[in-house]
Amino acid sequence: MAGLKESFTGKINRKLQKKLRVVDVAAGRQKADLVLKNACYLNVFSNEFCRGDIAVAEGLVVGMGEYSGIKEVDVSDKLVLPGLIDAHIHLESTLLSPAEFARAVLPHGTTTVICDPHEIANVMGVDGIEYMIEATEGLPVDVHFMLPSCVPSTPLDESGARLDYRAIDSFYEHGRVLGLAEMMNYVGVTAGDSDCIEKIVAAQSHHKKIDGHAPGLTGNALNAYMSAGVYSDHECSTAEEALEKLRKGQFIMVREGTAAKNLNALLPLLDKQYYSRCMFATDDRHPNDLLSEGHIDCIVKKALAAGVDPIIALKVASHHAARYFLMNNKGAIAPGYLADLILVDDLEKFNVLEVYKKGILRYSNGQVLDFECPEIDENLRQQALDTFRVNELTPASFFDPRRKAIIGMVKGEIITTDEGYSDEVDTEKDILKIAVIERHRNTGHIGLGYLKGYGMKSGAVATSVSHDSHNIIVVGENDADMAAAANRITQLHGGICVVEKGKVLAELPLEIAGLMSGSSIHEVNQRLENAKTAAHRLGVSDGIDPFMTLSFMSLPVIPTLRLTTRGIIDVETQRYV
């Protein structure tokens, strides 16, 4: 007991000494660790750009005005802004390990993300959440978590785990857990399903936020959803939908990702009347978009190009998410706030030149400075590399002469339409076979249906990234290639595969839970782009991401039709068709 008391006392003393130094530096009695001299910086409180020195000590901004420092950097020709924040992202959907994700987004000024690990939780259960917490500890990009609310997304789906509120409750005590992630089962919430409501009540008992996911929800159903305690939404695709939700009190996450791009439709919200309840989010962001366009900085650039007031765009990209998630020391350049600072050239080009995380330079001269990767428990690491339980498939596995519903794809969207029924592939009518294969428990369940709008003329495409249960999803012109593609996914322990006449044309291994690669972003992107090229050569329609779009065809919480391991369901009624 004496040793424990001494340890606690020592910790308090260390914190006290740091605080005393912060006060001394702020008062001008000691030199700062870092001073950005002659800075033109964004003041998010007075909605203006101010000029002065920015002093940093012990990882905090301690003052603006006139300061001297151990290190001084003249930034008079640059703009200094708060680090950018992604209000909602699934790190797994970048296909990158968390450390590689950090390397990818630091050059774009991202210093904090709020992550929903429900992709890996659907594969590994609570061990998946623990894996992501360990894999993000100490990264130069802060990763906070919202706990998965729907594992699986609905009771009709088959995932690797089923998490009720008891399973996740202990995670609320973790310092980086901020609340309950997107409550996708809005049908269950509005119907008064006790399992859904229990999770909300549990989160509220910990005084945590609850995020929403309710595409198209309106009227009394929206009232019921919000009355249950859901505070935000990132699924708005029209300004009318967003304004109804905003007027009723929800915060709106303006999403611009790879699969869903809603910024243009929601630009009317980015004005003085509405912007205070808006944040930017990507949700899902593929490697090529991260490399070629960027991250949150890309949304800022698009908003600025569309004529949005710069201060509005920058506050929505930083301060508002910090305020919403009660991260009270982030999202601003002010005394006592974390020194998460980005330097850009100007508001026209908006090129990120340098990034400081807690006052430490992490990106400069086009290079991410080296950092140590977190250590992951060996048992967790091995578990993540072995998540497939599937017997070998044959062409007969995909044969069923009965008529099946046709899922209609909508170009540029992840919603679908009901296109009737078919009992055969017809490439002239753009009708292909689609299957979802249960891969977690070797149940042998294979859901079959047809897909219209994908465009492929021959071969098959398969991926283990199939939201949200992440079974194997495969679409093809013939059963033999579908079997070959699905089998190759199992052999890879997860990934993406394009097959024609039994030959693998391109593939991307995703060995971490069947969702992420341990390779660099450049290697992942090269393999992914090769696979896209191969898929398009087989006829996949222009404007369709062959894999990202396909992965959403199994998500049974976005209208209208979706395919699960047991067959096609009508999302709005949650019944098989």
The mean pLDDT of 191-209, rounded to a whole number, is 97
DSSP code at position 477 = S
Q: What is the DSSP string of 297-349?
A: HHHHHHHHHTT--HHHHHHHTTHHHHHHTT-TTSSS-STTSB--EEEES-TTT
Residue 278 confidence (pLDDT): 98
Mean pLDDT of the chain: 96
pLDDT band with cut points at 50, 70 and 90 for residue 387? very high
Cis peptide before 287 (omega within 30 of 0): no
If pLDDT is split at 50, 70 and 90, which confidence band does 116 have? Answer: very high
Residue 383 token pair: 């578990």
Helices (H), 143-184: 165-168
Q: What is the pTM of this model?
A: 0.94
Locate the domains of the chain by residue range: 2-77, 82-327, 383-576
When pLDDT is averaged across residues 71-94 and rounded to a whole number, the result is: 97
- pLDDT per residue as tens digits for the range 457-499: 999 999 999 999 999 999 999 999 999 999 999 999 999 999 9
First to last CA, the chain: 64
Q: What's the CA gap between 178 and 558, in Å, rounded?
A: 25
Output the six-digit token pair for 513. 């839970």
- pLDDT at position 574: 84
Q: CATH code for 82-327? A: 3.20.20.140
Contact by Cβ (8 Å): 523, 515:
no
Percent over 90 (pLDDT), the chain: 92
Q: Identify the residue whose tokens are 């080009």.
A: 349
pLDDT band at 5 (very low <50, low <70, confident <90, very high): low
Identify the weakest region by mean pLDDT among 19-33, 153-167, 424-438, 493-507.
153-167
- Residue 513 is given by DSSP the state T
Assess whether pLDDT exceeds 50 at residue 352.
yes
pLDDT grade, residue 572 (50/70/90)? confident
Q: Which long-range contacts does 249-253 make (Cβ < 8 Å, 24+ apart)?
A: 250/212, 250/226, 250/277, 251/277, 251/278, 251/279, 251/320, 251/324, 252/277, 252/278, 252/279, 253/87, 253/88, 253/278, 253/279, 253/280, 253/281
Tokens at 195, concatenated: 């399992």
Residue 1: pLDDT band (50, 70, 90) is very low
pLDDT in tens, 286-303: 999 999 999 999 999 999
Residue 147: beta bridge partners?
180
Q: How far from chain centre, in Å, is Cα 191?
A: 27
Q: What average pLDDT score do residues 24-47 get? A: 98
- Is the pLDDT at 3 greater than 80? The verdict is no
CA 122 to chain centre: 15
Per DSSP, 392 falls in state P
DSSP 26-91: HHTSS-EEEEEEEEEEEETTTTEEEEEEEEEETTEEEEEES--EEEEEE-TTSEEEEPEEEEEE-G
- pLDDT of res. 260: 84
Q: Residue 368 has what pLDDT? A: 98
Helix (H), strand (E), coil (C) string for 236-286: CCCHHHHHHHHHCCCEEEEEECCCCECHHHHHHHCCCCCHHHEEEECECCC
Cα–Cα dist 230/245, whole Å: 11
What was the pLDDT predicted at 389? 97
- DSSP of 410-447, one letter per residue? -TT-S-EEEEEEESS-BGGGTEEEEEEE--SS----EE
Q: What is the pLDDT of residue 9?
A: 80
Of the listed ranges 42-46, 49-53, 411-415, the least confidently predicted one is 411-415
What pLDDT, on a 0 to 100 scale, did the predictor assign at position 496?
98
Contacts of 420 (CB under 8 A, 6+ apart): 405, 406
**CATH architecture of the domain formed by 2-77:** Roll (2.30)
Is pLDDT of 148 > 50?
Answer: yes
